[in-house]
């Protein structure tokens, strides 16, 4: 495997350790992020939103494999189907039907999404794991058009393979911990496979995961979710809502502010 792949494997291992210490990470984030860091996150989000608007209707770059939406294509275990209110979204956590729903549109190649994940990804996951919210990740690959690759589509597809293996959050977090240093470089499939191994997929489950990634089993699901993103009219990523009402990215990045917004939604 190339040195870049080895480096990403090492970062994936570090991401797994960080995820296992989620509470400590959240507390550290609340202390450190501050107003300046929130400004950086929001500035990145504004740029990503402009890219999303400009990408609509643009042609696909040459030299990549374009996978078209296919409503009949399979979805990973537990993922919403196309007839759901949260079509093709990934539910996470223990929240029941009577708690607020936190939706988050994101693209794995989006730098602003990676910044938000670093700022408060663990905090959002904690709210879901403790049943305070229903978290629904809404994956999109809109940046493939702009960056001239198919890496977002393949990353979402690989995530679907990890979801089937029972590593939903672990793979999600590890991908953001392994965002390529140069925007647009993307990931080769062997990096997805290496990440899967590093986060703990093993044995027959790993063999199935590897085959799933190489076969592109869930790339049509990724294309379906991306089409939902375009159809929704969302301007860019990251983009969050609580019970369908847009919540600012500065709020998403700050756990105390996010909890206050969730609490308000729960009482309304």
Q: Which domains does the chain have, with CATH numbers?
A: 3-56+69-267 (3.40.30.10)
Q: What is the pLDDT of residues 139-168, one digit of tens each?
A: 999 999 999 999 999 999 999 999 999 999
The whole-number average pLDDT for the span 48-68 is: 54
Q: What is the pLDDT of residues 74-131, one digit of tens each?
A: 999 999 999 999 999 999 999 998 999 999 999 999 999 999 999 999 999 999 999 9
What is the rounded (10 degree) CA torsion for 145, 146, 152, 153?
Answer: 0
% of the chain exceeding 90 in pLDDT: 73
pLDDT of residue 144: 96
pLDDT of residue 182: 87
pLDDT of residue 181: 86
pLDDT of residue 37: 45
Query: In which band, very low, low, confident or very high, does the pLDDT at 15 lie, cut at 50, 70 and 90?
Result: very low
ω into 238 cis (within 30 of 0): yes
What is the rounded (10 degree) CA torsion for 170, 176, 177, 182?
Answer: 150
User: In the predicted model, what is the mean pLDDT of the chain?
Assistant: 85
The whole-number average pLDDT for the span 238-259 is: 98
Q: Length of the chain, please?
A: 268
Query: In which band, very low, low, confident or very high, does the pLDDT at 268 lie, cut at 50, 70 and 90?
Result: confident
pTM tops 0.85, yes or no: no
Query: In which band, very low, low, confident or very high, does the pLDDT at 62 lie, cut at 50, 70 and 90?
Result: very low
Rounded Cα–Cα distance for residues 176 and 116 (Å): 10
Given a cut of 50, whether residue 48 has pLDDT beyond it is no
pLDDT of residue 6: 52
Structure tokens at 190: 């062997």
pLDDT of residue 168: 98
- Evaluate whether 160 touches 221 at the Cβ level (below 8 Å): yes
Rounded Cα–Cα distance for residues 151 and 76 (Å): 19
Rounded Cα–Cα distance for residues 199 and 243 (Å): 32
pLDDT of residue 54: 42
Given a cut of 70, whether residue 132 has pLDDT beyond it is yes
Alpha helices in 33-110 (DSSP H): 34-55
Q: Residue 266's closest CA among 102, 54, 150, 152?
A: 102
In angstroms, the Cα distances linking 99 to 1, 56, 62, 189, 190 are: 45, 34, 45, 37, 39
Chain centroid offset of residue 38 CA: 19
Q: What is the pLDDT of residues 180-193, one digit of tens each?
A: 988 899 999 999 99
- Evaluate whether 130 touches 170 at the Cβ level (below 8 Å): no
The whole-number average pLDDT for the span 170-181 is: 95
Given a cut of 90, whether residue 64 has pLDDT beyond it is no
Q: What is the pLDDT of residues 191-243, one digit of tens each?
A: 999 999 999 999 999 999 999 999 999 999 999 999 999 999 999 999 999 99
């Amino acid at each position: 495997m190339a040195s870049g792949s080895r480096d990403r494997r090492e970062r994936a291992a570090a991401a797994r350790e960080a995820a296992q210490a989620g509470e400590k990470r959240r507390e550290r984030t609340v202390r450190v992020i501050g107003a300046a860091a929130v400004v950086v996150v929001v500035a990145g989000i504004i740029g990503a939103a402009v890219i999303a608007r400009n990408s609509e209707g643009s042609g696909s770059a040459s030299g990549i494999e374009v996978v078209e939406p296919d409503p009949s294509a399979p979805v990973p275990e537990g993922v919403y189907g196309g007839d759901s209110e949260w079509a093709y979204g990934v539910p996470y956590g223990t929240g029941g039907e009577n708690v607020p729903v936190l939706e988050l549109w994101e693209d794995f190649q989006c730098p602003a999404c990676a910044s938000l994940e670093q700022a408060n990804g663990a905090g959002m996951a904690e709210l879901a794991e403790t049943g305070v919210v229903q978290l629904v990740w809404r994956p999109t690959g809109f940046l493939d058009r702009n960056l001239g690759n198919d890496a977002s589509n393949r990353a979402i597809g690989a995530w679907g393979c990890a979801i089937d293996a029972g590593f939903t959050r672990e793979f999600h977090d590890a991908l953001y911990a392994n965002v390529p240093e140069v925007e647009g470089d993307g990931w080769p499939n062997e990096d997805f496979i290496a990440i899967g191994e590093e986060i703990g997929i093993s044995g027959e489950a790993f063999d199935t995961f590897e085959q799933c990634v190489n076969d592109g089993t869930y790339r049509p699901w990724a294309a379906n979710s991306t089409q939902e993103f375009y159809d929704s009219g969302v301007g860019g990523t990251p983009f969050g809502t609580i019970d369908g009402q847009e919540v600012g990215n500065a709020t998403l990045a700050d756990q105390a502010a996010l909890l206050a917004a969730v609490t308000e939604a729960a009482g309304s």
